[in-house]
Each structure stands twice: as structure tokens, then as C-alpha cells.
Copies of this chain bind each other. A is one copy, B any other.
Amino acid sequence: MRELATQVREAARALPAADRRAALRRLAQALLDNADAIAEANARDVSENPELSPSLAARLLLSPAKLETLAAGIRSIADAPDPIGRQLRATELGEGLELRQVTSPIGVVLVIFESRPDVLPQITALAVKSGNGLLLKGGSESSHSCRLLHRLALDAMGVGPVVGLVESRADVASLLELDDVIDLVIPRGSNSLVRHIQSNTRIPVLGHADGVCHVYVDEAADPTKALDIVLDAKTDYPAACNAMETLLVHHSVDPAPLREALEASGVTVHTEVEDWHTEYSGLECALRVVASMNEAIDHIHQHGSGHTEAIVTEDDDAAQRFLAGVDSACVFHNASTRFADGFRFGLGAEVGISTSRIHARGPVGVEGLLTTRWKLVGQGHTAGSFARGERTWTHRDLG
């Protein structure tokens, strides 16, 4: 496993931007050219896993329409501007000594996903575009599809093994120990998968184990907006991580209309709750009446997961205090929690949603796969010449 991870790192380092673009265009084409073989491998996965629920089986399926969308997505990633080497800061340190902070690949990223085999070419495109080496572990139920997609990806890369695929849990366990070779782990799947990985590696994990999101209906809320937002936040897609799990209502607001509307939409509303840190992931939510906005904020800090919280109010001062005071990745005013999403945020592809405060937070696009480096260009400059007063620091912003 160490050898595989090291190979992947070195192959990624050796691949220049023009080659990365060409490789991704070849990958997009290969998905279309090999549609029949992919359909066959996928059909084997489906037939060998008759026990899957309808929703999991649907995720496993690689229909021709999915392949078309996938190929189009990969072409658009291929043709996007090179994300590497983008200048973030430039400073003249002294005469003739110029410092630039530029974006660069992280190194090696391990992505662990379940069910959906289309994650493989998609995340391959994002990782290759951003100059990273990639290690992948798919779900066992999609092994035939993943093996074929991995082979197509390797063929398209042309040069060495930028993308490695592992299949067993033992291999994943070995990879999770390689914190000196692997820089980031991205688990894409159930809460229990994320939690398992977070507690079994020293490698930083980009993701979120829980999405316990709140909507707080303030005393100055517009009742129609409150109703619209609460219903959307819970029922638009109840299993999503950005769905509302707890509704907090100011004591001066009658909660009955909200509760009745939720119930009319099939939502079970819990008011006697043992554990307020519960992600119902279905047509259920908790309801609590609070004495003040501060009590709502305290509740969120104590029981939330730091994902996404919304306030409904016509009082702009209250909204400002809520947005400044709530310490979550996403804080919304008069908008549904369901907007917390990479595509909706306009980030292009979504690498994941992070509730960590380190590296990247909230919905994360391709910038989550980047770090920065400092490039300094001089003309024989020494630190001693500044200490001796032969040169002087200018620290001039070069924009």
C-alpha cells in the first residue's frame, strides 16, 4: 500500500497541465466509446446484489444518460482554467526580491465512496485537474463497474498510475495509516462511514459525520416566509445532510401553524426529545420553543453539528447578530438550509461538505484539493545583507 501511494504521488507530480487536460478529454471520450462494456459490468453488479434497496440499486445503476452527463461534466472540468499556480499574493520583500504565494496540488487524496460508481470518473477528473494523485475505494457492490472505470481512467492518463484503486477493507485500513504519504481523506457516504474513518486515521478528513441543521423562527419573522422556509428545509429532500432536523421557535410566535403544516406534509414533529443532537434523515423533526434568540444560539452551539443554520426574521439587527454569533459553516437569513450545497453555491463540482474548521469549511469545490506554496525569486539575495543594513525591507504589495 505504501508503494502504491508513493507511485501515485510521483505519477501526479510528473503530469504537466497540458497533459492533464488531454488525459481528461480522453477519459470523457472513453466513457462514451465503452458504454456497452460499462453497461455490461454494471449489470453484473446489479444482478449480483439483489438485496439492495430500490434507492441503493438506483444509485448503483450507470444508465446511458448518466454516462452522457458524466462525460460532459468531465469535458467541462478538462477545459476549465488550470487551478494550479494561481497567484494569491505577491510582495516585494526588498529591491529585486519578489515573493509570490501560488496554489498547488495537495499531493495524494484518498476517496472512499459507497454505491455510486459514477463517483470514480468524476473525482478522478477533479483530482487530476488539480494535479493530485488519487487513491480510490469503491463499495463492494459496484466492484465490476469500478474495476472497468478504473482501467479506462488509467488508459486515458497515458503516463503512470495517477489513480490507484483498492478493493478490500484491509487495504483501506493500511492506507489510513499512511499519514506521511496521504494528505487528505474524503469519505463520501453514510454518516457511519465518515465517523468510522474519522476515528481510524491521523490523516485530515474532509467531510461531515452529521448534519443537524436548525431553523430559528424569530419573534420578528414573517409568517409566510417562516412557513415556506421550514417546509422546504424539512421536506425538499429529508435525507439530505442540509435538511432541517430541529425547528426553534421564539416563544412569542405561535408554533401551531408551522407544526400543522409540517404534519400535513407527512412530517412527525417531536416535542419531547431525549437527544437534541439527532439527524432524523427522514420525515421527522424536533421542535423547541425558546425564550430568546440567545437561547436559540446556545441550543445550536450545544446540540448542533456546525453544518448549516437559518434564521427567519424581518429584524435586520437580529439577523446580523445571528449570522455573526452562530459558529457554523453556513449561516443563513431568510433562506432555506437546503441551499448549503456546492452546486447551488456556484462552486462547480462539489468535493464534499466540511464541518471541520481547518483547511476548507462548508461546501467545498476543487479548491479543497489545493494548497499553496511560496515562490521567492531574488538575484543572489542573502538574509545577512538585510541584517547588516546593506539592504532594506520594502514589503511592498505587488497586488
Show the binding face of A for B, using Cβ within 8 Å.
10, 13, 85, 91, 93, 97, 99, 104, 106-107, 183-184, 202, 204, 222, 224-225, 228-229, 231-232, 236, 301, 312, 319, 323-325, 327-336, 338-340, 344-346, 357-359, 361-363, 371-387, 393, 395
Top 9 nearest A-B pairs by Cβ distance?
Answer: A335-B378, A225-B380, A232-B382, A338-B383, A346-B395, A357-B371, A332-B376, A358-B359, A330-B374
Q: Closest chain B residue to A338 by CB distance?
A: B383
CA distance A231 to B114 in the complex (A): 55
Q: Closest chain B residue to A319 by CB distance?
A: B377
CA distance A339 to B96 in the complex (A): 14
Q: Closest chain B residue to A17 by CB distance?
A: B324
Whether A335 touches B376, Cβ cut-off 8 Å, given contacts A93-B344, A183-B357, A384-B232, is: yes
Report B-chain residues with C-beta under 8 Å of the C-beta of A323: 375, 377
Report B-chain residues with C-beta under 8 Å of the C-beta of A395: 346
Report B-chain residues with C-beta under 8 Å of the C-beta of A325: 13
CA distance A393 to B99 in the complex (A): 39
Given A229-B381, A236-B383, 12 new contacts (CB under 8 A)? A99-B345, A228-B382, A236-B387, A331-B373, A333-B377, A334-B379, A335-B378, A336-B382, A339-B378, A344-B383, A358-B358, A358-B371
Whether A334 touches B377, Cβ cut-off 8 Å, given contacts A324-B85, A384-B236, is: yes
Report B-chain residues with C-beta under 8 Å of the C-beta of A10: 301
Q: Closest chain B residue to A327 by CB distance?
A: B13
Name the residue among A229, A358, A362 with the largest chain B CB count within 10 angstroms.
Answer: A358
Q: Say yes or no: B346 contacts A91, CB within 8 Å.
A: yes
A240 to chain B, nearest CB (A): 9
Report B-chain residues with C-beta under 8 Å of the C-beta of A344: 93, 383, 386, 393
Report B-chain residues with C-beta under 8 Å of the C-beta of A372: 361-362
Q: Say yes or no: A335 contacts B97, CB within 8 Å.
A: yes
Q: Say yes or no: A345 contacts B184, CB within 8 Å.
A: no
CA distance A224 to B104 in the complex (A): 32
Q: Say yes or no: A336 contacts B225, CB within 8 Å.
A: no
A294 to chain B, nearest CB (A): 10
What are 20 A-B interface contacts by the 8 Å CB criterion? Answer: A10-B301, A13-B325, A91-B345, A93-B346, A106-B358, A107-B327, A183-B357, A184-B357, A224-B380, A228-B380, A232-B384, A319-B377, A329-B374, A330-B376, A334-B377, A340-B374, A344-B386, A358-B359, A361-B373, A361-B374
Q: Say yes or no: A229 contacts B91, CB within 8 Å.
A: no
Q: Say yes or no: B374 contacts A229, CB within 8 Å.
A: no
A109 to chain B, nearest CB (A): 10
Q: Say yes or no: A339 contacts B381, CB within 8 Å.
A: yes
A146 to chain B, nearest CB (A): 27
Q: Say yes or no: A331 contacts B93, CB within 8 Å.
A: no
Q: Say yes or no: A358 contacts B183, CB within 8 Å.
A: yes
Whether A93 touches B339, Cβ cut-off 8 Å, given contacts A106-B358, A107-B357, A357-B106, is: yes
Whether A379 touches B99, Cβ cut-off 8 Å, given contacts A329-B373, A361-B371, A371-B358, is: no
Whether A339 touches B184, Cβ cut-off 8 Å, given contacts A13-B327, A334-B381, is: no
A307 to chain B, nearest CB (A): 11
A343 to chain B, nearest CB (A): 9
Report B-chain residues with C-beta under 8 Å of the C-beta of A336: 381-384
